[in-house]
Structure 1
Amino acid sequence: MAGKHRAWEFERYPAYKRAYIKAFEKMLIAREQAGLENKCGWTDAESVFRWWMEDKTDPNQMTIDDWLHEIGADYTLTGD
């Protein structure tokens, strides 16, 4: 599920869309339980899915490096 054809793929394979939304729901619950701030303003798993499908970089969007730092990981992907 990558690239320009993602929307079409999710239309063709709705079980994959449901799986992604379920995973996003688990992510939101885990973030809330960890006391992490919702910087993107997501209201539910569907809103995360819509945000993810847009493929646009929001200036407030958290990078993977930001996330690794937030969870206390002792490494980064950029080598910093």
Structure 2
Amino acid sequence: MVESGNGLWRRTCAMLAAAGLLALSGAVLATNQSQQRQEGRNANQNAKQDARSNKVDCRAANQKSNAQCRQDKRDTKQGGRQEKRDIKY
């Protein structure tokens, strides 16, 4: 069976259009993922900075032992990690 030039042209255009749409959807997905990663990094970095500040304040005020201040810092950082997980998923 011989195809006409017009039918072959249509099929080629349709395949190219489908490939273009697939590529475009992949780019949009990558952009969303990169935004989520950046938000997650920001949340994590903010938590680290807060933890450092809290530990310094805790030790300066001499409210707790050094071990308790360290545990507070760990808890703050863990909260930041959880926030990062919540953002990404």
For this structure pair, what is the TM-score category when the shorter chain's length is used for normalisation? Answer: 0.3 to 0.5
Report the structure number with the largest CA radius of gyration.
Answer: 2
| TM-score normalised by the chain length of structure 2 | 0.35
Which protein is richer in helix relative to its size?
2
Q: Give the structure-1-normalised TM-score.
A: 0.38
